[in-house]
């Protein structure tokens, strides 16, 4: 069964050994079960890490892999540089999730994606140690936890997820996030479908209104 977030210009494959076309990259999604509660009574259930990149977009830690470099080793090198990931927490081949092939780009990009679950304590330590990363304040401007809740707790339908999805994501990181958290059952499919539809409605509403008029200088 296909979902709206599966519609992407990039071709998805579960074969890591795809033909080399252009540049190669590898990125990772780190997650853990969470005991945290919003307002002391709404269970957060899971924590998922994303990062604020140097270009102002949201994405996953990782980066380009050198031509003759092993993909998993290249990923761990990038994670060590960007979030100071320790060797004991390195990703392995078994954490490989899938590959997005961006053939439409002027220089094609093959982006390998890895997913790994950590304990809550491990996840918190990884968050704290990112401040010591070589690329902190450069390529990595900050890390965030994704607000996974799709259930309305206020008068805003479907909780915070639709609003989070409206942010500017690099490449197809938005689709990577949603596809992964649904398949890993961090969010129920039906709830994500509602959240995705709400996001689309918000985009259409913003495009049809003068929402950005405050940024346009008046003509005299």
Structure-token match 């540089």, residue found: 81
Backbone phi and psi for residue 109, each to the nearest 5 degrees, phi listed first: -125, 130
User: Per DSSP, what are the bridge partners of residue 102?
Assistant: 109
Between helices 189-208 and 173-183, what is the axis angle to 10°? 160
Q: pLDDT tens for residues 82-134? A: 999 999 999 999 999 999 988 887 788 899 999 999 999 999 999 999 999 99
**Rounded distance between C-alpha atoms, residue 108 and residue 101, angstroms:** 8
**Rounded distance between C-alpha atoms, residue 139 and residue 117, angstroms:** 24
Q: Which of helix, strand or coil describes residue 23? A: strand
> Which residues, in sequence order, are CB contacts of 129 under 8 Å at separation 6+?
83, 84, 85, 86
**Rounded distance between C-alpha atoms, residue 155 and residue 101, angstroms:** 40
**Rounded distance between C-alpha atoms, residue 25 and residue 22, angstroms:** 10
pTM above 0.95, yes or no: no
Least confident of 4-8, 40-44, 74-78: 4-8
Kindly state the tokens that stand for 63: 């980066």
Decide: 33 and 121 in contact? Cβ < 8 Å: no
**Rounded distance between C-alpha atoms, residue 166 and residue 176, angstroms:** 15
- Strands, DSSP E only, in 60-175? 62-65, 96-102, 109-118, 140-145
The domains located in the chain, with CATH, are 4-147 (3.90.79.10)
List for the chain the helix, strand, coil content (%; round to 5).
Answer: 35, 30, 40
Q: pLDDT tens for residues 188-202? A: 999 899 888 888 888
- Strands, DSSP E only, in the chain? 11-13, 23-38, 42-53, 58-59, 62-65, 96-102, 109-118, 140-145
Please tell me the predicted confidence (pLDDT) of residue 183: 95
């Amino acid at each position: 069964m296909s979902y709206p977030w599966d519609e992407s210009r990039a071709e998805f494959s579960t074969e890591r050994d795809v033909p080399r076309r252009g540049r190669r990259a590898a990125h990772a999604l780190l997650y853990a079960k969470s005991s945290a509660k919003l307002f002391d009574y709404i269970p957060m259930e899971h924590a998922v890490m994303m990062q604020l990149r140097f270009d102002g977009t949201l994405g996953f830690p990782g980066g380009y892999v050198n031509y003759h470099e092993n993909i998993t080793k290249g990923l761990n090198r990038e994670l060590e540089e960007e979030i100071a990931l320790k060797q004991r927490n390195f990703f392995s081949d078994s954490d490989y999730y899938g590959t997005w092939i961006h053939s439409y780009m002027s220089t094609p990009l093959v982006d390998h994606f890895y997913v790994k679950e950590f304990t809550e304590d491990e996840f918190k330590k990884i968050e704290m140690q990112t401040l010591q990363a070589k690329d902190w304040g450069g390529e990595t401007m900050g890390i965030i936890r994704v607000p996974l809740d799709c259930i309305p707790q206020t008068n805003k339908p479907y909780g915070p997820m639709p609003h989070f999805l409206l942010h500017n994501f690099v490449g197809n990181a938005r689709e990577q996030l949603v596809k992964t958290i649904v398949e890993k059952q961090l969010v129920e499919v039906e709830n994500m479908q509602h959240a995705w539809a709400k996001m689309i409605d918000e985009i259409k509403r913003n495009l049809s209104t003068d929402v950005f008029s405050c940024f346009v200088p008046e003509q005299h």
